[in-house]
Copies of this chain bind each other. A is one copy, B any other.
Amino acid sequence: MEQKLIVKMVLDSWNSAIARTGKLLNELTDEQIAADAAPGRNSGKYLLGHLVAVHDRMLPLLGMGEQVYPQLNEAFLGTPDKSGREMPSVAALRSYWTDTNERLATHFNNLTAADWFARHTAVSEESFAAEPHRNRLNVIISRTNHLNEHLGQMLYLKPIPQEA
């Protein structure tokens, strides 16, 4: 019972951050996403590609198959923004974002509560015996925190509200 409850609490929190980010992306034009979140900081495009790559890599980490977009790793994980690596268009990244999170949601729906408390693939059976918190659900907690941190930054892509 409590297992199921806590899985709901953690997934609700993940889904809420995914939904808020999706809503923000819908409110922004491609040009606004291509701009820097603040002067001299990461562009919204880089942040979006970074989030797609990090979420795409949750597939192997959670034992749900291979990455679908490994070609994003170099530009969005291996190197910082403005390093000259070729990036997909904002339109392509929007579609990867939706696709990746829908794919994860489909996999998540197939897991039982007990599956969530099983180890993720980056921890060995031996280590997991001593560190049972390194389970699939902890990956969601960690990635939700990561998403919220960058969502806070991407909110700065919105036009500054004018004084009344």
Contacts and interface: CB of A to CB of B under 8 A. Distances in A.
Interface in A115-164: 117, 132-133, 137-138, 141-142, 144-146, 148-153, 155-156, 160
Of the four ranges (under 10, 10 to 19, 20 to 34, 35 or more), the interface on chain A belongs to 35 or more
Nearest to A144: B145
A9 B138 CA distance: 7
A77 to B, nearest CB: 18
Contact of A9 (B137, B151, B152, B160): B137
Interface of A is mostly: helix
Contacts of A5: 117, 132-133
Nearest to A154: B152
B38 A156 contact: yes
Contacts of A141: 9-10, 13, 141
Given A2-B2, A133-B8, A145 B13 contact: yes
